[in-house]
Structure 1
């Protein structure tokens, strides 16, 4: 293992990450088949409030999704996702990939897939053991294995036939970012 603990951890700033993310996230959508558009997190459960800029009714049921501004979405992504990821001490190329995955599939799921990719206990929480294990591996190995875990997770979902093409395109775009960031 080559390791990369001495490489920069802040090359991908939040602003840069947000600009990339928002390229994947669309405008206002009320697709009735999307569980995220419902306040109850399942199709037909709760109120159909939709998703805007990737901010979904199932995660923010009391938010006025339809009238959400881009600036408000950016604040939410910073406060609730970037700051709470707990990935300080990891290379920023991994932080971006993990953050984007967390937004799309949930923080615990994304962290568990990262942990599986490096062979540590997959408990869904980033702690000193996870950080040390990630930093002991080759950066590209972590990026590629995490991406493989992400794709495997997506293909296991019952909604893959409907939304899978979009998820795969998002991952493909993110692989290009990984190549730039390493």
Structure 2
């Protein structure tokens, strides 16, 4: 059994931050070299979106208003407005990514960074489907909760083969969305571009 605490080669969530900001905000590549707080400040300039066709509603740098309300409610805030979302700090955004998405996959314990990247980005983009669909790929109970069995299945699979299966499952998932809701076809090109830029060799910015 892997001793997770002793293994210094586990996945790091900070490596995913530039990728998410790039695809959520159209951040210029030149800003990807900045320290993360400065990168986020630049991303916020183009990070707000509220497309009526997007069921997620208002978002800032990829964080939906529903997610931000859930996060702030946990901190004791009675309400959260669109203006609050627009003013989100890097500290809060980073904490949301870590505690509500990265930790949902217990990704600190995933041994392969590329596998962690595609799993966490999946749950970031698709909610609980980003857990249940990979669980089906792993042939474990698809209960939407990452426990010891799911985590062990991730780490005992050949990482390159697992990554390929997860990639294909994500492509099928977004194609099925468009089949069910043809109005979403406007997003399919961007969805696939993002998925295809998460590779086993690393994250691409194309």
How high is the TM-score relative to the length of structure 1? Answer: 0.77
Cα offset, 1:98, TM superposition: 0.8
Query: Aligned partners of 1:93, 1:83: CA distance in 2, in Å?
Result: 16
Note the residue ranges of structure 1 that are not aligned, 5 or more in a row.
Answer: 38-49
Unmatched 5+ stretches in structure 2 = 26-46, 70-79
Q: 1:74 to 1:160 in 2, by over 3 A?
A: same
Q: 1:120 to 1:142 in 2, by over 3 A?
A: same
Aligned to 1:60: 68
- The Cα of 1:36 is off from its aligned counterpart by 0.9
2:20 is the alignment partner of 1:21 = yes
Instruction: Name the CA distance, whole Å, in 2 between partners of 1:76 and 1:90.
Output: 19
- CA RMSD in angstroms comes to 2.4
Partner of 2:30: none
Which residue matches 1:150? 170
* Cross-structure match for 1:98: 119
Which structure shows the bigger proportion of residues in helix conformation?
Answer: 2
TM-score, normalised to structure 2, is 0.69
Distance 2:100 2:146 in 1: 16
Aligned equivalent of 2:161: 141
Quick one: which of 189, 195, 198 aligns to 1:165?
189
- Residue 80 of structure 1: which of 95, 100, 112 is its match? 100
Decide which moves more: 121-130 or 149-158.
121-130
Query: How far has the Cα of 1:152 moved from its partner?
Result: 0.9
Contact 2:11 2:108 in 1 (8 A): no
Aligned residues of 1:101 and 1:110 also touching (Cα < 8 A)? yes
- How far the C-alpha of 1:60 sits from its partner, in A, is 2.6
- Is the deviation greater in 54-63 or in 108-117? 54-63
Which protein has greater RCO, CA pairs closer than 8 Å, 6+ apart? Answer: 1
Return the match for 2:144 from 105, 124, 130.
124
Please say if residues 53 and 184 of structure 2, whose CA atoms lie closer than 8 Å, have aligned partners that are also in contact: no
Q: Deviations over 1:120-169 (max 9, x none)?
A: 22111112222222222211111010111111111111254021111101
Residue 71 of structure 1: how far off its partner (Å): 4.1
* Matched residues, number: 162
- Equivalent positions of 1:28-43 (< 5 A) are 28-37=48-57
